[in-house]
Amino acid sequence: MKNSCLAVRLNATGKQGAALPFPCAATLFADPNQPFFPIEKSRNHAEATMKADDVEFLVGMAVQLDETIRKLVIDEQEIFEKLGDARVQELKAFWNQEFTDEEEQDFKRSLDYWDKILIRTWANAQRARQTRAQVGQTLMKLNSHL
């Protein structure tokens, strides 16, 4: 090692161990713009590894979200068949907030089990689609930096 001094390594009992090469102060402070330890290189490697791990995680998440969305669409179709077209249209109007406050209160009192399940399915599907879109955007950003 260029411009190195010997440093003494102490073992666990405090006795002198092997001498190790250690950079002298002259080497450490010779050029303040050049760090002695290759911090940037290791940071870039860690970032690349982290990005690869992030991409792998996000791809797995996207696959799971796609499967969840497919399942919710199937559930939605099954509930549509149970409720009938007229009730589904009323629920869509409620979901899209097309009722006045008074109509909404009356409608809420008329909701039964399957009505609530359909509304919950729509809410879960909406959240899954939003999350899937965010995952896709994040993947595009990460892939543009790799």
Identify the sign of the CA torsion 135, 74, 79, 103. Answer: positive
pLDDT tens figures, 91-121: 999 999 999 999 999 999 999 999 999 999 9
* Length in residues, the chain: 146
In the block, tokens 């002259």 appear at 26
pLDDT tens figures, 32-54: 454 433 434 444 554 555 577 88
Long-range contacts from 62-66, C-beta under 8 angstroms, 24+ separation: 62/132, 62/135, 62/136, 62/139, 65/128, 65/131, 65/132, 65/135, 66/132
Strands 16-23 and 4-10: antiparallel
CA dihedral 29, 35, 38, 41 (to 10 degrees): -170
Cα separation, 68 vs 128, in Å, equals 7
- Prediction pTM value: 0.63
Residues with Cβ within 8 Å of residue 97, at least 6 apart in sequence? 104
